[in-house]
Chain A
Amino acid sequence: SQKIEQNSEALNIQEGKTATLTCNYTNYSPAYLQWYRQDPGRGPVFLLLIRENEKEKRKERLKVTFDTTLKQSLFHITASQPADSATYLCALGKSYNTDKLIFGTGTRLQVFP
C-alpha cells in the first residue's frame, strides 16, 4: 500500500543547531514534494517545493533534498531558532495526478534556547 512516513516523535534540538526532518515514502511515483509548516490552531503554510528531477532546493535557512532512489526527502533548518518550533508536514504530488497532494502525519520540532 502507499505510505508516507514522518517521524512521529518530536524532535528536540538546541538553538543554533541544524534540525533535520525526514520524509520517507513507499509505492509512490511523486512528480514533486512539498514541505509545510503548521503552528498549533492554524492551517499549514507552504515552505518549499522540490520536483522529481531536482536534488536540492534552498530558501534562506531552509534546505530540502529529494532522493527518488531512496524514496526520501530531508528537510533541514540551519541555525535553528525557538521561532522555528512547529509541526512540519511533507506532502507528495503524484505523477499521474498532480492535482492532489498526499500528506504525511508531520513531525513536531521543538527548538529550545
Chain B
Amino acid sequence: DAGITQSPRYKITETGRQVTLMCHQTWSHSYMFWYRQDLGHGLRLIYYSAAADITDKGEVPDGYVVSRSKTENFPLTLESATRSQTSVYFCASRDRLFYEQYFGPGTRLTVT
C-alpha cells in the first residue's frame, strides 16, 4: 500500500535491550524524520535524513542511532533502552521541494 508505515505498532522491552523501530515510505520522498511525542513536550525531533546516506541530529538524539541505506527506509535503533525512552515514536517524510510532512501511525514503546 502507498504511504508511510511503521512497525511494530506496539513494543514492550526491558531496560538495556536493543530495539529497532522500522519506517517505510512508498513516495520516494527525499526527507525522513523521527520524532518522539511525550505529554508536556509535544513532538521532538530525534534524527532526520535529507537523502540516502545523509543523516543529521535533531533536538534529542542521545541514545538513538539511525541509518538510511535506501531512500524508502529509515530505521531507528535504541542501542540500550532506558525507561526515559518510553514514548510514542513517529516517523515522517516529505518531498524535497515541499515542506509539509506526512506522518506514520506511530509506535508505542514501553521500556520496563
What are the residues of chain A within 8 A of B42 when measuring CB–CB? 89, 103-106
Taken together as a complex, chains A and B put the C-alpha atoms of A100 and B101 apart, in Å, by 10
A99 and B41 within 8 A (CB): no
Judged by a CB distance under 8 angstroms, whether A34 is at the interface is yes
Interface size class on chain A is: 20 to 34
A101 and B45 within 8 A (CB): yes
Taken together as a complex, chains A and B put the C-alpha atoms of A46 and B4 apart, in Å, by 14
Give the residues from 45 to 77 in chain A that come closer than 8 angstroms, CB to CB, to chain B.
45-46, 49
B43 and A99 within 8 A (CB): no
Q: Chain B at the A interface: mostly helix, strand, loop or mixed?
A: strand
Number of chain B residues whose Cβ lies closer than 8 Å to a Cβ of chain A: 23
A100 and B45 within 8 A (CB): yes
Selected from A45, A46, A103, the residue in CB contact (under 8 A) with B43 is A103
Q: List 25 A-B contacts (CB under 8 A).
A: A34-B99, A34-B100, A34-B101, A41-B106, A42-B105, A42-B106, A43-B103, A43-B106, A44-B43, A44-B90, A44-B101, A45-B103, A49-B99, A49-B100, A93-B99, A99-B31, A99-B50, A100-B48, A100-B58, A101-B99, A102-B45, A105-B40, A105-B41, A105-B42, A106-B42
